[in-house]
């Protein structure tokens, strides 16, 4: 499969993450980090991610690998593979970078990135958010964003199962 070159530069890996972070920091950009599976992109994801981007200059998304999603969500997930999910996210105008991580949590990735702002959904309490200790140690902010009511991957999958 030929790589989609137009958005390929936004899909980062370990080898170019450090360099890209250095560029953003040299340009004095405020980095916002969030993470998730983003299995079936829907309006709730778009709303959440666009609000996250509004908090800074750079929106970097830590994306769970297929293996990680399977461990977290079960054997029937993900619906879309990691290439499809990363390309779709990278194609969004307000997303500046996507990097895959294979662990169950993005803790090690947050430790590498050290974003100025860590964003999660408001269904999390601050003390439950992975990486709070890292963000606080570098003087960053933890911000939670309300989800758009009525939109979730689970509800979409439930509707599909009901209609079959």
Q: What is the CATH number of the domain that holds 86?
A: 3.40.50.620
pLDDT of residue 4: 54
Instruction: Say what the pLDDT of residue 154 is.
Output: 65
Cα(1)–Cα(90) distance, integer angstroms: 17
The 3-state secondary structure of the chain reads CCCCHHHHCCEECHHHHHHHHHHHHHCCCCEEEEEECCCCCCHHHHHHHHHHHCCCCEEEEEEECHHHHHHHHCCCCCCCCHHHHHHHHHCCCCCCEEEEECCCCCHHHHHHHCCCEEEEECCCCHHHCCCHHHHHHCCCEEEEECCCCCCCHHHHHHHHHHHC
- pTM, entire model: 0.90
**Whole-number pLDDT of residue 8:** 75
Residue closest to 137 by CA, chosen among 98, 110, 106, 119 = 110
Q: How many domains does the chain have?
A: 1
Task: Tell me what pLDDT residue 160 has.
Answer: 72
The tens-digit pLDDT sequence of the chain (164 residues) is 445 554 578 999 988 999 999 999 999 999 999 999 999 899 999 999 999 999 999 999 999 999 999 999 999 899 999 999 999 999 999 999 999 999 999 999 999 999 999 999 998 888 899 999 999 999 999 999 998 776 666 666 666 767 76
Range of the domain at 31: 5-163
pLDDT in the model for residue 107: 98
pLDDT of residue 20: 96
């Amino acid at each position: 499969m030929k790589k989609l070159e137009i958005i390929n530069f936004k899909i980062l890996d370990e080898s170019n993450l450090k360099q890209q972070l250095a560029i953003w920091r040299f340009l004095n950009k405020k980095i916002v980090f969030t993470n998730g599976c983003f299995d079936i992109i829907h309006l709730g994801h778009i709303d959440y991610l666009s609000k996250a981007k509004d908090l800074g200059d750079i929106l970097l998304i830590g994306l769970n690998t297929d293996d990680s999603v399977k461990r977290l969500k079960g054997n029937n997930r993900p619906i879309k593979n990691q290439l499809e999910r990363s390309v779709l996210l990278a194609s969004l105008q307000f997303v500046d970078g996507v990097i895959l991580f294979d662990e169950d949590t993005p803790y090690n990735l947050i430790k590498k990135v050290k974003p100025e702002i860590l964003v999660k959904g408001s269904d999390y309490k601050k003390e439950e958010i992975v990486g709070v200790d890292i963000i606080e140690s570098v003087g960053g902010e933890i911000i939670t964003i309300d989800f758009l009511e009525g939109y979730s991957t689970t509800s979409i999958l439930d509707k599909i199962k009901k209609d079959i």
